[in-house]
Structures are given as structure tokens and as C-alpha cells.
Amino acid sequence: MSAAIAVSGLVKTFGPTRALDGLDLEVTTGEVHGFLGPNGSGKSTTIRVLLGLLRPDSGAVRLLDGDPWRDAVALHRRLAYVPGDVTLWPQITGGEAIDLLGRLRGGLDPARRAELLERFDLDPTKKARSYSKGNRQKVALVAALASDVELLILDEPTSGLDPLMEAVFQEYIREVRAAGRTVLLSSHILAEAEALCDRVSIIRHGRTVQTGSLDQMRHLTRTSISVETARPVTGLDGLPGVHDVAARDGRLRFDVDSDRLDDVLRHLTVFGVRSLRSAPPTLEELFLRHYGDELAEDGVPVPALGRP
């Protein structure tokens, strides 16, 4: 598998602000890659560098085996982009904007355009002036999805969509992946990333803090266990890899390092397990783990997930 996007050590500063501080990102051809981070962490800046709109200060950036700054025009024929905040020309209709962007990219499929307009429930005869945020977003999505391109770069593409449209969007992304195309999906809607992404990269302050598949990430962290036993459990605190043991309402709750799960379960069966719930960490918990200190500074309780 070759890399559709390969970024290493990317640095971009705006005056005194270091927006990207040695960011790494590798997106394999054919995968849906989640690009996660809160507002201001550098997602959009990275995407603008990938599109050749901003010039990197240092670091290596390859996009579809080209240089995004030098080969911008040739590369852009092979990709489609949906910005996070879509601004359109007030006096131009949605249908016209879709056609314009499609033609500038090298043409779009009229049948697919019609289908997308139908599925996304978008009126193409309205001038952009009267579109809501969600409808402007749909214009950019239809233009991107109706193009026959190898790579989709989507910057928070669903931030203005309702849940019904979100479902339509997810269906199309699965279709895109099935067709073997690559998607870079920047998002802070973690449920969306969890539902769609093969692999994710979590970034913070312009730097990649974790990257990999969700399974890999979960393996590196702890599982939450809630158990009810016939007899009181003893000796749990002494086991390696067990953290934050607490008893409440006759149930015992604790976290366990994922690679110690087997030992802990063997220990528990001795006490007569009546019911057991095991929850792998959600992406949200994985994500918050990297931002726990910031939340703590703001006085927000940090989820009970230890640091690796």
C-alpha cells in the first residue's frame, strides 16, 4: 500500500504563533483516515498546506506522489476538497456553484450530481445568499462527491448538517471507500470518525500525539470493568495493571490495562461472577486522554482513564 499523503516534521508559523510544530501524518491509499483535534489544533492549517494554499516553513509534504506547492494544479485534478466553513458567491445559485467547481476540477458526472442533489435534499435554484450554513455545506459536498477523484479532503464536512444528512454523508463515504478511493476526514465529531475511519491521527498544538487504528489505540489503553460477584473480591489491588478500584452499590468498578485483562478475569471467577460489563474505551475517551490536562486546568473533571 502506498501513501496518498505523507507529511513529516511539518512546521508552519504565523508571526509568533507556531500553528504546526513538527506534525506527522500518513494516509494510506484506499483508507478513510480521521484527522482529529479540537478547534485551533492545526487541522485546517495542515489541510491548507496540503492544498498548496499555504507554504510550509519546514518539513516534508507529499500528496499523491507530488509536491502540493509546486504541482498544485496537476494534483488538484485528482482530488476534491470540502472546506469547513463554505463561503459561496451570494449572487450565484447552488447548482451553478456545483457545476463551476466540478468543471474547474475537470468535470463531474451529471447523473451522480442529480442523485446527490436528491439524496441531500438540496434546491439548486436558490442563490447562495439565501442558503443556511448546512445548505452551503451541501453544495460543497455535492460538488466533491460528484467528481471522479482519487482523494477527498474533507475539513469538518458535516458541521452544519442535521442527523439525517449526516447519515446520508456516512453512506456516501462508505461507498467512496468501497470504490478504493482515499479520504482524509478532519473532524471533531468523534462518533462520526469512529463510524467511518480505518485509522485516525490525533493532533494537539500542531503536533501528532497518536496515530493508528482504533483497535491498536484501544489495545494500548485500559478497559473499564464493572462486576458483581457472589463473594467480596479480595486481592484485586495487588494485581499488576489494575487501577482505580472502587466499590459502589454492591458492584466493583475498576480499569485494567488491556494486556492484563486475561489475568484479571481469571482472578475474578474465583469469587462467583454474577454479572460483568466490560467497556472498551470510546474514541472520545481516547481523545480526552490527550487533553486531560487542559480540561483539568479549566476545572472540568477528567474521565477515569489513566495515562499510558
Partner 1 sequence: MNTLALEGTGTLVRFALRRDRIRLPVWVVVGAALVAEQSAGSQAIYDTPAALAAYRATVGTSAAAIAFAGPPVGLTTVAGTVAFEISASVMIVAALMAMFTTGRHSRADEEAGRTELIRSTEVGRHAPLVAAVVVSGLGCLAMALAIGAVGALTGLPVSGAFLLGAAVGACGLVFTGVTAVAAQLSESTRAAYGITGAVLGVAFLLRAVGDINGSALIWASPIGWAQAVHPFSDNRWWPLLLCVAAAGALLTVAVGLLDHRDLGAGLVSGRPGAPAAGPLLASPLGLAVRLQRAALLAWAFSLVVLGAVYGSMGDAVESLFKDNPAAQAFLPGASAAGLIEGYLATIFSIDALLAAAFAVSSVLRAHAEESAGRVEPVLATATSRSAWLRSHVTVAFLGSALLVVASGAATALVRAASSGDSGSFGRLFGASLAYVPAVWALAGVAVAAVGLVPRAAAAVAWAMIGYAVVVAVFAPGLNWPDWLGDLSPFAWTPLVPVESWTLPAAAGLAVAVAALLAVGFGAFGRRDLSTG
Residue 76 interacts with partner 1 (CB under 8 A): yes or no: yes
Residue 124 interacts with partner 1 (CB under 8 A): yes or no: yes
**Residue among 218, 219, 187, 239 nearest 283 (CA):** 218
Spell out the alpha helix ranges (H) of 71-162: 72-76, 94-105, 110-119, 133-145
**Residue among 268, 272, 265, 226 nearest 249 (CA):** 226
Binding residue for partner 1 (CB under 8 A) from 125, 178, 248, 249? 125
Nearest CB to partner 1, comparing residues 79 and 161:
79
Nearest CB to partner 1, comparing residues 149 and 214:
149
Give the C-alpha separation, 103 to 124, whole Å: 16
Binding residue for partner 1 (CB under 8 A) from 60, 67, 70, 106? 106
Give the C-alpha separation, 195 to 170, whole Å: 8
Nearest CB to partner 1, comparing residues 70 and 243:
70
Tell me which long-range contacts 284-289 makes (C-beta under 8 A, separation of at least 24).
284/190, 284/191, 285/221, 286/202, 286/210, 286/214, 286/217, 286/218, 286/221, 287/36, 287/190, 287/202, 289/221
Q: Which amino acid is at 129?
A: R
Tell me the pairing of strands 242-248 and 222-229.
unpaired
Residue 92 interacts with partner 1 (CB under 8 A): yes or no: yes
* 14-73 positions binding partner 1, by CB under 8 A: 44, 48, 51-55, 72-73
Q: Which amino acid is at 136?
A: R
Residue 140 interacts with partner 1 (CB under 8 A): yes or no: yes
Binding residue for partner 1 (CB under 8 A) from 34, 37, 42, 83? 83
Binding residue for partner 1 (CB under 8 A) from 130, 216, 269, 278? 130
Binding residue for partner 1 (CB under 8 A) from 100, 220, 261, 268? 100
- Minimum Å gap between C-beta 165 and partner 1 is 20
Nearest CB to partner 1, comparing residues 51 and 252:
51
Binding residue for partner 1 (CB under 8 A) from 41, 43, 99, 264? 99
* 147-176 positions binding partner 1, by CB under 8 A: 153
Determine the distance from the C-alpha atom of residue 147 to the mean position of all C-alpha atoms in its chain, rounded to a whole number: 22
Looking up cell 507529511 gives 7
Nearest CB to partner 1, comparing residues 15 and 180:
15
Nearest CB to partner 1, comparing residues 130 and 278:
130
Give the C-alpha separation, 194 to 114, whole Å: 29
Binding site for partner 1 (CB under 8 A): 44, 48, 51-55, 72-74, 76-77, 79-81, 83, 85-93, 95-101, 103-106, 124-127, 129-130, 140, 153
